[in-house]
Amino acid sequence: MTTLKPNAKTFPLNAWYAAAWDHEIQQALFPRTIAGKKIVLFRRKDGQVAALEDACWHRLVPLSKGHLKDDEVTCGYHGLKYNSHGRCTHMPSQETINPSAGVRTFPTHEQHRFVWVWTGDPALADPAKIPDLHWNHDPNWAGDGKVIHVKCDYRLVLDNLMDLTHETFVHSTTIGDDAVAESPFDVHHGEKTATVTRWMRDIVPPPFWGAQLGKPGRVDRWQIIRFEAPCTISIDVGVAPTGTGAPDGDRSQGVNGFVLNTVTPETETTCHYFWAFVRNYKLGEQLLTTKLREGVASIFREDELILEAQQQAIAENPDHVFYNLNIDAGAMWSRRIIDKMIAAETPPSHAAALGSRTAAAQ
């Protein structure tokens, strides 16, 4: 059973979280709350991204309400200035600057078309730990995506992606198909990953995939969902004509896409959901890229409505205990891995309090 107690910690801090698409961060103040931390981001003149705590050292006014000039932020209340390292460089009406005057900064790194922010101990911020979303900038793949603000616990989005059975019911007019809900699947997990593999053999393709393949006839369809802790899921999807060997590794007659998802907690009950859809066919067709992006956006809108309704119901029923079905196996592994990460950074006394609450619900 799973508990979604509102007071339990829901996300680790020692993690790289996608804070923005690369194009969102320009030479302007950009506020965003990441894992409960209010942060203001901006691009310096040298192209690097700075991330400062969005609260002035003097009286806590959000720095994002101030001004950016020459890589320095001026607070919009009394004019304290900060450089991109968070150091105060100017105080009005006084010569000396209090040596403690400054705001926290967060490590940043740009990769896979996203700006990543590390919200925990800066000494642990190793860019090698950024989740693998290389398809997003790999020349062998073409695509695009968006970010949506969803009013739900980020783990509900992860649950949704780890179990695509919901396609049959939530997305019945596009990618949904009875075969998704009826086909068996395998689940594997590692230290930081969980993978759900589902093959639907010899089926009539759903409308979306039939159109992508552009050939008549029955297909083998695959969905290989890979979770990488704490909040990234890449989904290898596609179809190939039945009998051309896709289940044995030869996908040359088929079409292949990846749904790339990284879901950044904003608060305990809201998140920033970054996604992209990339494909390995018709790479030069920008019109197709745009059409697919907008098509996927409308499919994800269906998820958003369900997830927000679910979050609301959870808030109204805080003591409800969730039962796990076979279809929840992938989500259970991802939640277990997240819980382990949280426990590893929770002081023992606090962990004991959280543990007793969790045990009570099991």
Footprint on this chain of ligand FES (rule: CB under 6 A): 56, 58-59, 61, 75, 77-80
Q: Taking CB within 5 to 8 Å according to partner kind, which of ligand FES, Fe ion, none is near residue 303?
A: Fe ion
CB 86 to ligand FES: min, Å: 13
53 vs 303, beta carbon nearer Fe ion: 303
Q: Taking CB within 5 to 8 Å according to partner kind, which of Fe ion, ligand FES, none is near residue 180?
A: none
- Nearest-angstrom CA–CA distance, 143 and 21: 14
φ and ψ of 89, to 5 deg: -115, -10
180 vs 342, beta carbon nearer Fe ion: 180
Cis omega (within 30 of 0) for bond into 247: no
Interface with Fe ion in residues 255-294 (CB under 5 A)? none
66 vs 120, beta carbon nearer ligand FES: 66
Q: Taking CB within 5 to 8 Å according to partner kind, which of Fe ion, ligand FES, none is near residue 77?
A: ligand FES
Q: Taking CB within 5 to 8 Å according to partner kind, which of Fe ion, ligand FES, none is near residue 19?
A: none
CB 20 to ligand FES: min, Å: 24
Closest by CA position to 271, among listed 158, 159, 150, 161: 150
CB 66 to ligand FES: min, Å: 8
Closest by CA position to 64, among listed 34, 31, 104: 31
CB 208 to Fe ion: min, Å: 12
Distance of CA 80 to the CA centre of its chain: 34
CB 30 to ligand FES: min, Å: 18
61 vs 187, beta carbon nearer ligand FES: 61
Q: Which helix (H) or strand (E) holds 160?
A: helix 154-162
Residues 174 and 181 sit within 8 Å (Cβ to Cβ)? no
Draw the binding track, 294-313, toward Fe ion (x: CB under 5 A; -: no contact).
---------x----------
CB 303 to Fe ion: min, Å: 4
Side-chain half-sphere of 239: how many Cα atoms within 13 Å? 25
Interface with Fe ion in residues 188-227 (CB under 5 A)? none
And the tokens for 260? Answer: 């790339």
How many C-beta neighbours within 10 Å does residue 331 have? 23
Closest by CA position to 217, among listed 227, 238, 207, 203: 203
- Nearest-angstrom CA–CA distance, 102 and 82: 7
Residue nearest to Fe ion (CB): 303
- Nearest-angstrom CA–CA distance, 28 and 270: 25
Which region holds residue 69: left if phi is over 0, alpha if psi is between -120 and 50, else beta?
beta
CB 77 to ligand FES: min, Å: 4
CB 178 to Fe ion: min, Å: 16
55 vs 239, beta carbon nearer ligand FES: 55
29 vs 233, beta carbon nearer ligand FES: 29
Contact partners, residue 19, CB within 8 Å, separation at least 6: 32, 34, 39, 41, 51, 108, 114, 115, 116, 117, 264
325 vs 344, beta carbon nearer Fe ion: 325
Q: Which helix (H) or strand (E) holds 340?
A: helix 329-344
102 vs 206, beta carbon nearer ligand FES: 102
- Nearest-angstrom CA–CA distance, 303 and 297: 10
Q: Taking CB within 5 to 8 Å according to partner kind, which of ligand FES, Fe ion, none is near residue 80?
A: ligand FES
CB 335 to Fe ion: min, Å: 18
105 vs 212, beta carbon nearer ligand FES: 105
Q: Taking CB within 5 to 8 Å according to partner kind, which of ligand FES, Fe ion, none is near residue 78?
A: ligand FES
